Amino acid sequence: MTAASAAAPTAPTEPHVMATYGRLPLALSHGRGCTVWDTEGREYLDALAGIAVNTLGHAHPKLVPALQDQIGKLIHSSNYYHVPLQERLAAKLCELSGLTNVFFCSTGLEANEGALKIARKYGHDRKIDRPEIIVLENAFHGRSIATLSATGNPKVQAGFGPLVEGFVRVPMNDIAAIDAVAKTHPNIVAVFLEVIQGEGGIRPATIDYLQQVRRRCDANDWLLMLDEVQCGMGRTGKWFAHQWAGIRPDVMPMAKGLGSGVPVGAIVCGPKTAKVLGAGNHGTTFGGNPLAMRAGVETLRIMEEEGLLANAAKVGGELRLGLQQAFEGVAGVREIRGQGLMLGIELDRPCGVLLGRAADAGLLISVTADRVIRLLPALILSSAEARRIVEILVPLVKAFLAEPPPKAAS
Catalytic residue (one of 38, 46, 227, 360): 227
Q: How far apart are CA 337 and CA 278, in angstroms?
A: 41
Question: Whose CA is closest to 104, among 291, 284, 270, 251?
Answer: 284
Query: Is 227 among the residues known to form the active site?
Result: yes
Neighbouring residues of 34: CB distance < 8 A, sequence distance ≥ 6: 45, 46, 47, 49, 57, 58, 377, 378, 380, 381, 382, 385
Backbone torsions φ then ψ of 46, nearest 5 degrees: -90, 105
Is the separation of the CB atoms in 142 and 112 below 8 Å?
yes
For the chain, state the CA radius of gyration: 21
- In the chain, the amino acid numbered 257 is G
Catalytic residue (one of 104, 238, 240, 256): 256
CA–CA distances in Å: residue 70 to residues 67, 274, 297, 298, 390 = 5, 30, 12, 11, 39
Where are the extended beta strands (E) located within 126-208?
Answer: 132-136, 167-170, 188-194, 196-197, 203-204
Local structure of 275: helix, strand or coil: coil
Query: Is 256 among the residues known to form the active site?
Result: yes
Dihedral sign for Cα atoms in the order 72, 76, 77, 79: positive
Query: Is 140 among the residues known to form the active site?
Result: yes
Dihedral sign for Cα atoms in the order 328, 324, 347, 19: positive
Question: Whose CA is closest to 278, among 137, 395, 121, 139?
Answer: 121
Is the separation of the CB atoms in 400 and 354 below 8 Å?
yes
Catalytic residue (one of 140, 167, 192, 240): 140
Q: Cα 253–104–139 angle (5° rounding)?
A: 20
For residue 117, the tally of other CB atoms under 10 A from its CB is 16
Is the separation of the CB atoms in 188 and 220 below 8 Å?
yes
Q: How far apart are CA 299 and CA 60, in angstroms?
A: 10
Backbone torsions φ then ψ of 130, nearest 5 degrees: -130, 70
Neighbouring residues of 183: CB distance < 8 A, sequence distance ≥ 6: none
Local structure of 11: helix, strand or coil: coil
Catalytic residues: 140, 227, 256
